[in-house]
Structure 1
Amino acid sequence: MIDTHCHLDVAAFEPDRGAVLQRTRAAGVRAIVVPGIDAAGWKPLLALCDAEPDLFPALGLHPLFMQQHRASDLQRLEQALATVRPVAVGEIGLDFHAAASDPAQQQRLCAAQLCLARDAGLPVLLHVRKAHDAMLALLRQTGVRGGIAHAFNGSLQQAQQYVTLGFKLGFGGMLTFERSARLRRLARELPLEAIVLETDAPDLTVASHRFQRNSPEYLPEVLSALAAARDADPESIAAVTTANAREVLGLDAPWHAPEPAHHD
């Protein structure tokens, strides 16, 4: 299995990150994509991914942290994409659900990052809440080369539009809750080739660990919920969703930070 979205770099994992990784590997998770949320976090995130062969970095400016972002961060992102080559640009997107959100400001930041991803030839990891139509419009305008709509919760019609644009849809812990009937129906109706697994740890935990820190080691529970929703064998679901993640993110070899250039 591949966890396509896990914030393993954040403070919630500081006390026991090594033990979490050990349990996660023992659970059959072979790779974890770690998305950045603000420029201050990129350096430690890259160092973490460089130190662990099964962690892969994405770099981006998250829409819920607008107050933390500076105008110069876009320039820093452009530079980082050229020099360190993360596997994706993310976590980026639009969140019109947040009370304090300024949609126009978010759209400007998101569009700029989509253009950087397009120019760098990288996929994107999208955070979208109450903004799927606006996001789809931006994707069509920029012509970015696909990616993952993480924690997808839109309609089947919106899902199909993402798929047409080269996107996979991320399903996580919400799928394990009894009340998530609409989400399970979506997971059943979509082609399996469109689906990838994720945890979004430490957030959006699975039903068995409600109100607790989410962890990448719980990814098998997401797999079980997806297999149950589709009335399919978990092993075949794991094989296809893993292939989907590799296809969209190109996780073939371990990621390593490039050696610093030496100038004579």
Structure 2
Amino acid sequence: MKFIDSHCHFDFDAFQPDRAQIWQRCINSGVTRLIIPGVCRAQWHPLTALTGSQSGWYGAAGIHPWWVAKESNPDGSLIQPEALGWALSDYLNSNHCVAVGECGLDAAIETPIEIQEAVFRVQLEVASEFELPLILHVHRTHNEVLKLLKQFRLPRGGVIHAFSGSEQMAMDYWKMGFYLGIGGTITYARAAKTRRTVSQLPIESLVLESDAPDMPISGRQGLRNSPENLPLIAAELAKLRGVSLQDIADKTQNNTEILFSL
């Protein structure tokens, strides 16, 4: 059976020493394709070079909330959101990407939410203009993000990375064209609410993700996460839903192909 990791930071330095070996283990375990999100301008071109080197790797371009404060002018001042939007548009005009992102809002970081929102808005505009799906980071800001999504009504929707909200919230996103990213959180018994939610959602709304090198699965806390663990997440999802692993593999692969036009 085949799997697609819909969210993996495989370009991060954590994988530099043994990326080729990990990828071979991924293939051996059935993980044959990866979506690698962008997080900042400095990363976009190296990411494109990396994805161009390997069949099955796909890149996105965006500015993650955690990196917003690092986007500066030569004099050190914070770059204007409009300039970031122009840079993103220029990049997408000359480089193939399957999505805009990772972008969104995070209420748990020091960067003021107003600044995050300004940068997020320009990425919403670019995604609409280029008719690309969004890869969304949403942390303690679901109400704010849903409000913005209702304003923009994006033609291609996107995915809510590492979804851990309620069933009602999930359905609100799904009705707007957004899939739910299901990762290692569901392997933890303490994540009862999320486990219950993913067992009830339409299978057509779910995609699998590792978020490697972060979000390790249960039993491997403190270790570098890897996309080769994706089948273990899929197996837990199959158990929670009372279906076969093959069914989860087939359905989530199809969902991811539709979402990113693979």
Normalising to structure 2: TM-score of the pair? 0.93
Hey, what's the Cα distance between the residues in 2 that align with 1:142 and 1:82? Answer: 21
1:220 aligns with 2:231: yes
Offset at residue 35 of structure 1 (A): 0.3
Q: Percent identity?
A: 39
> What corresponds to 2:147 in structure 1?
137
Hey, what's the Cα distance between the residues in 1 that align with 2:147 and 2:121? Answer: 10
> What corresponds to 1:20 in structure 2?
22
> What corresponds to 2:195 in structure 1?
184
Hey, what's the Cα distance between the residues in 1 that align with 2:186 and 2:58? Answer: 24
Q: Deviations over 1:167-206 (max 9, x none)?
A: 1100101111111111110111100000000000000011
> What corresponds to 1:261 in structure 2?
none
Letter aligned with residue 46 of structure 1:
T
> What corresponds to 1:39 in structure 2?
41
Offset at residue 73 of structure 1 (A): 2.9
Match of 2:95 among 84, 95, 101: 84
Letter aligned with residue 2 of structure 1:
I
How many equivalent pairs are there? 250
Q: Deviations over 1:10-52 (max 9, x none)?
A: 1101111111111111110121000010000111111010001
> What corresponds to 1:153 in structure 2?
164
Hey, what's the Cα distance between the residues in 2 that align with 1:11 and 1:75? Answer: 28
> What corresponds to 1:211 in structure 2?
222
Letter aligned with residue 195 of structure 2:
R
Normalising to structure 1: TM-score of the pair? 0.93
Displacement over 2 Å in runs of 4+: 70-74
1:109 aligns with 2:119: yes
> What corresponds to 1:53 in structure 2?
55
Hey, what's the Cα distance between the residues in 2 that align with 1:217 and 1:208? Answer: 15
Hey, what's the Cα distance between the residues in 2 that align with 1:31 and 1:188? Answer: 25
SS across alignment from 1:209 = coil
Give the unaligned 5+ runs of structure 1.
Answer: 252-264
Offset at residue 85 of structure 1 (A): 2.6
Hey, what's the Cα distance between the residues in 1 that align with 2:135 and 2:44? Answer: 15
The answer to whether the Cα contact below 8 Å between 2:100 and 2:132 also exists between their aligned partners in 1 is: yes
SS across alignment from 1:125 = strand
Q: RMSD of the alignment, in Å?
A: 0.9
Give the unaligned 5+ runs of structure 2.
Answer: 72-78
